Structure 1
Amino acid sequence: MGERRVTVTVTDGVADVRLNRPEKRNALDPAMFEALVTTGEALASDPSVRAVVLSGEGPDFCAGLDFTAFRAMAQGERLSLQVDLPPTTGPARATGQRAAYVWAEVPVPVIAAVHGHALGGGLQITLGADLRIVAPDAALGVLEIHWGLIPDMTGTQLLPELVGRDVAKELTLTGRQVSGTEAVALGLATRTDPDPRVAALALAADITERNPDAVRWAKRLLNQAGRVDLATGFAAEQQAIGELIGSPNQVAAVHKRL
């Protein structure tokens, strides 16, 4: 069990997912990339899962790429290309992109609980989550520019949606690290908590009390906002409400409030 790069425990509909390489600050190597993708895809197809909490074992969430990856790059190699994954029909095709975006494709809410460092690829993994609860003293940063690179795990596309284009450029072009507190102010994180994992698990438990069909539809519709034209978005909204009204889970939700 200790050699598994990602561990998963599902309790009462909440999947507690943890990056499990604490001695390396949960750094990303080929095995970690593969574990993130396969774990996310497995959870996406598990109907018993109603919310996901994504965190890291040890003192950090994820400090980014393993240093062996940078050494390989100096020789013109990309270690992520060594990962043998089945093909996907989603928009993220490269291994690193899939490791981050798979959490956006999980149909239930994914909450990233961030403590310590979330840097480079580690930060980009959090971008695939729906919500980010961070420790006030956490350190988040787009560090790729320090290595002569650009963020290539969805960061160039998803970061501007959260912080705006100009702030995304500043963070990307300078590699400046921000605290959890500043991350919230910038829109990079949802809120702070001194114990983000406990707070994330409590939020996930609250979500599991809601109509699971409405929760899934809400995530799908909100993910579409700004990415599809208004006519498509409005039509999807009406499809959702048409399916939800009078459904068993919706009726049960009404009775709980009466």
Structure 2
Amino acid sequence: MNEHRVTVDIDDLGVATVTLNRAEKHNALDGAMFDALLQTTDTLRADHRVRALVLHGAGKSFCSGLDTSRLGQDGGAESLLDREEGHRANRAQRVSVDWADIPAPVIAAITGNCFGGGLQIALGADIRYAAPDARLSIMEIKWGLVPDMGITQTLPRLVAADVAKELTFTGRILNGIEAQAAGLVTRVVDDPLAAALDLAREIARKSPHAIRAAKRLYDQTWAGADPAAALTLESELQVGLLGSPNQLEAVGAGMARREPRFADPN
């Protein structure tokens, strides 16, 4: 990956471990990190081997946010209005929202600092495990800015508007337990990476077609969707699964009390 800012390892189960690899800077986001993250999501989106993905930071922190030494040096304000052809978001937003485009579930393992853009990347995951002493903040107000890395597409699904406003207006730092109480974190565990990998391996042993369909179902219907369209999607996804090879394998394995042998999606 670009300057090895991000590394990817895929095991035999199809669990991809994605590591933000700038530990000496608490995985702060600079231009090379943005490039590496976009390359990573593009690659993993098309990799049919991947059944679950764990995203974490090397060293002490998940991601401390933008590298403040680079403020104003990586594209300028005008670039925020640019949208690449075929993408709904700009380059900065894509490092958060493009995780939703990966068909497999994404689990963020949060330790240390998870500030600003780092938190917005974590919010782009499907599930977030955090250490009790992790530190999370919508920190942009500290620099006189608003959060602008896709937070409008993620935070409203997790917290009420008044909670979002309080955290954004103050930039208050929450520990993992407080973040879970606020709705930012799914679970608090002593070792988020180990717990996230355990969950990813559990998911990887399920039918990948059913898992992908379930992610699509909730992503497209969770908040604000037309009820009729949401109910129709439930039925359409189920029809696509019923009688398919992996669905039949799930039934056969369950009846025989053996481990299923699922085929990867095409």
Could you tell me the TM-score, scaled by structure 2's length?
0.90
Q: Is 1:8 aligned to 2:5, yes or no?
A: no
Q: Secondary structure at the match of 2:248?
A: helix
Cα drift, residue 65 of structure 1: 0.3
2:126 maps to 1:126: no
The Cα shift of 1:228 comes to 2.5
Query: Structure 1, unaligned stretches of length 5 or more?
Result: none
- Counterparts of 2:15 and 2:85 in 1: how far apart (Å)? 25
Q: Distance in 2 between matches of 1:18 and 1:86?
A: 26
- Which amino acid counterpart does residue 137 of structure 1 have in structure 2? D
* Structure 1 partner of 2:69: 68
Q: Is the 8 A contact 2:2 2:32 kept in 1?
A: no
Pairwise CA distance, 1:194: 0.7
C-alpha distance 227-33 of structure 1, shift in aligned 2 (>3 A): farther
Aligned residue pairs total 252
Shift of 1:233: 1.1
CA deviation digits over 1:42-90, x for unaligned, max 9?
A: 10110011110000000000000001233549xx934x949xx993524
Identity %: 50
In the TM superposition, residue 227 of structure 1 has moved relative to its aligned partner by 4.1
Which deviations, in whole Å up to 9, do the C-alpha atoms of 1:103-159 show, x marking residues without a partner?
Answer: 111111000000001000000001110000000110000000010000000113421
Residue 2 of structure 2 contacts residue 36 of structure 2 at CA under 8 Å; is this kept in 1? no
Root-mean-square deviation (CA, aligned residues, Å) is 2.1
> How has the CA–CA distance of structure 1 residues 247 and 2 changed in structure 2, closer, same or farther, with 3 Å as cutoff?
closer
CA distance in 2, matches of 1:251, 1:99: 37
> Which position in structure 2 is the counterpart of 1:250?
247
Aligned match of 1:175 in 167, 171, 176?
Answer: 171
Cα distance between partner residues in 2 of 1:160 and 1:138 = 22
2:85 & 2:228 partners in 1: Cα distance?
28
Distance in 1 of aligned mates of 2:35 and 2:83: 10
- Residue 201 of structure 2 corresponds to 205
Unaligned runs of 5+ in 2: 256-266
* 1:138–1:180 contact (8 Å) kept in structure 2: yes
In the aligned structure 2, how far is the partner of 1:69 from the partner of 1:142?
19
Aligned counterparts of 2:207 and 2:141: Cα–Cα separation in 1: 43
1:2 shift after superposition: 10
- Partner of 1:223, secondary structure, is helix
CA contact (8 A) 2:2 2:35 kept: no
**How far has the Cα of 1:235 moved from its partner?**
1.0
Could you say which residue in structure 1 is the equivalent of 2:235? 238
Q: Structure 1 counterpart of 2:15, which letter?
A: V
Q: When the two structures are superposed, what TM-score results if normalisation uses the length of structure 1? A: 0.92
